Amino acid sequence: MRTIRHGGEHETEIRRSRFICALERAGGEDEARAFIAERRRLHWDATHNCTAYVLGTHADVQRSSDDGEPSGTAGLPMLEVLRHRGLTDTVAVVTRYFGGVKLGAGGLIRAYGAAVSAALDAVGVLERRTLPVVEVAADYLLAGRLESDLHASAHHVRDVRYAADVRFDVALADDDVAAFHAWLAESTGGRAECTPQGETTVEVPVDDPAG
């Protein structure tokens, strides 16, 4: 699954109406509702504060609100953008200040969806990956070069501990543990030990958030 890199906002103007989309990460419905309430307090004088959020490991919590816009013209298109991008733990609030020109149902759907899309492009997206973690043990003569090789690789060095030997906690770049064992054996001449340590979740930037 994916989520936004960080919170932020982006403003667009469509036929004299201002659309301000604010995004935030949320770990649950209480956090999402608190963010929505904050935005509504901040923009108490706006014509509408429409909302959508997707939460949970499997994106199983999905809510939206049109906040007075015609049914299905605001919250739902906002939610569809979050779904299309594959996002979770993300809440969007689009504040509209009416500019005097009515957009019609189709225009509203396009405007609210575009506001969320533009904001997502502005803040960026991360991909969450569950990766296996291994502990690699090596003697001090080998550790310096091994650490350099690990940092130069696609793997993620999470911790380094120094005792009788040097131990690295490494989150693998993919779930191919056998391939890592082969790489490690080749890199160290078979002089390093590798022990599975479970799994972890990492967040990796996505170059094309719409892809």
Q: Looking at domain 2-123, which of 1.20.1630.10, 3.40.190.80, 3.30.230.30, 3.20.20.140 is its CATH number?
A: 3.30.230.30
Nearest 10 degrees: Cα torsion 175, 181, 187, 191: 150
Nearest to 155 by CA among 193, 200, 124, 125: 200
Q: In a 3-state reduction of DSSP, which class is residue 201?
A: strand
Q: How confident is the model at residue 28 (pLDDT cuts 50, 70, 90)?
A: very high
Q: Looking at domain 129-205, which of 3.30.70.240, 1.10.1740.10, 3.30.70.1560, 1.20.950.20 is its CATH number?
A: 3.30.70.240
Q: pTM of this prediction? A: 0.75
Q: Where are the domains of the chain?
A: 2-123, 129-205
Residue 210 has pLDDT above 80, yes or no: no
Q: What share of the chain is helix, strand, coil (3-state, %, to 5)?
A: 35, 40, 30
Q: What is the pLDDT of residues 103-128, one digit of tens each?
A: 999 999 999 999 999 999 999 999 88
Q: How confident is the model at residue 130 (pLDDT cuts 50, 70, 90)?
A: confident
Contact between 34 and 91 (Cβ < 8 Å): no
